[in-house]
């Protein structure tokens, strides 16, 4: 993809510069999808502080923690941003009627496909680039992400401004700029998703070990190269621990 080679950055390019150049290149056809993790809050601060013309949305599955909904409103008020809600076609109640109760307990891949992946695909249609809060050291699957890369799954350019940052870099930025973050982090949730699928982690556990605990799953399908095989096989991979 030619655009990816146009937007080349050195490995130590600051995230703010990546965001500025991406906005200059792609606005108004660029959006940031935040899940209100600590990294997402950092990027919201960077976008608002520079008044970058980047649309911001979140995938509101209808199953987020109350603390996440509160943080969403707080960040909007503090930064003067509108964080659009992108919602699934079905409410939680309609999904229950169609697939039975607590689909996430039985088929999390299907549930994530319905409530996250399909809505994201709709939200990205017509855009040229999207910004994510992914960091390389979060999971082995994310280890190879670049600052800018082609997203073959959704058919656009993906910008990962924090790809090279560590968790300590993120915490330092949050402290330096007084960025509000979820109170759940202090209660043992380093990674926060939907309430039914997120548990606290113990000391020494992988930061994403609390996501879909009991399943061989650490990603919801938004940041994987291909969701097809994942959706077909993953539901059978419930672990015994």
Which residues here bind ligand SF4, judged by CB under 6 A?
Answer: 61, 63, 104, 108, 111-112, 115-116, 193-194, 196-197, 220
Are the C-beta atoms of residues 138 and 201 closer than 8 Å to each other?
no
User: In angstroms, what is the minimal distance from the CB of 180 to ligand SF4?
Assistant: 23
Residue number with CB closer to ligand SF4 (26 or 215): 215
- List the 30-33 sheet strands across, edge first: 83-86, 55-59, 30-33, 129-131, 156-159, 148-151
User: In angstroms, what is the minimal distance from the CB of 94 to ligand SF4?
Assistant: 14
Residue number with CB closer to ligand SF4 (71 or 197): 197
Residue with nearest beta carbon to ligand SF4:
194
Residue number with CB closer to ligand SF4 (95 or 160): 95
Would you list the DSSP string of 60-123? --S-B-HHHHHHHHHHHHHHT--EEEE--SS-HHHHHHHH-S-HHHH-HHHHHIIIIIHHHHHH
Three-state DSSP class for residue 58: strand
User: In angstroms, what is the minimal distance from the CB of 171 to ligand SF4?
Assistant: 24
Question: Is residue 41 annotated as part of the catalytic site, yes or no?
Answer: no
Q: So which residues are the catalytic ones?
A: 220
């Amino acid at each position: 993809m030619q655009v990816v080679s146009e937007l080349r950055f050195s490995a130590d390019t600051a995230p703010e510069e990546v965001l500025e150049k991406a906005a200059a290149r792609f606005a108004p056809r660029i959006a940031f999808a935040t899940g209100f993790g600590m990294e997402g809050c950092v990027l919201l601060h960077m976008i608002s502080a520079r008044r970058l013309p980047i649309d911001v949305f979140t995938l509101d599955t209808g199953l987020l923690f109350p603390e996440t909904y509160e943080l969403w409103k707080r960040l909007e008020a503090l930064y003067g941003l509108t964080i659009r809600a992108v919602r699934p076609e079905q409410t939680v109640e309609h999904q229950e009627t169609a697939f039975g109760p607590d689909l996430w307990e039985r088929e999390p891949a299907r549930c994530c496909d319905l409530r996250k992946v399909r809505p994201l695909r709709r939200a990205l249609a017509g855009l040229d680039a999207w910004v994510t809060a992914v960091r390389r050291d979060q999971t082995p699957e994310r280890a190879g992400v670049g600052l800018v890369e082609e997203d073959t799954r959704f058919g656009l350019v993906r910008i990962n401004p924090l790809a090279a940052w560590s968790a300590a870099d993120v915490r330092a930025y949050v402290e330096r700029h007084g960025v509000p973050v979820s109170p759940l982090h202090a209660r043992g949730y380093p990674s926060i998703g939907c309430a039914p699928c997120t548990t606290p982690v113990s000391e020494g556990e992988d930061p994403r070990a609390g996501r879909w605990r009991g399943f061989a799953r650490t990603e919801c399908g938004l940041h994987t190269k291909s969701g097809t095989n994942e959706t077909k096989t993953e539901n059978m991979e419930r672990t015994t621990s």
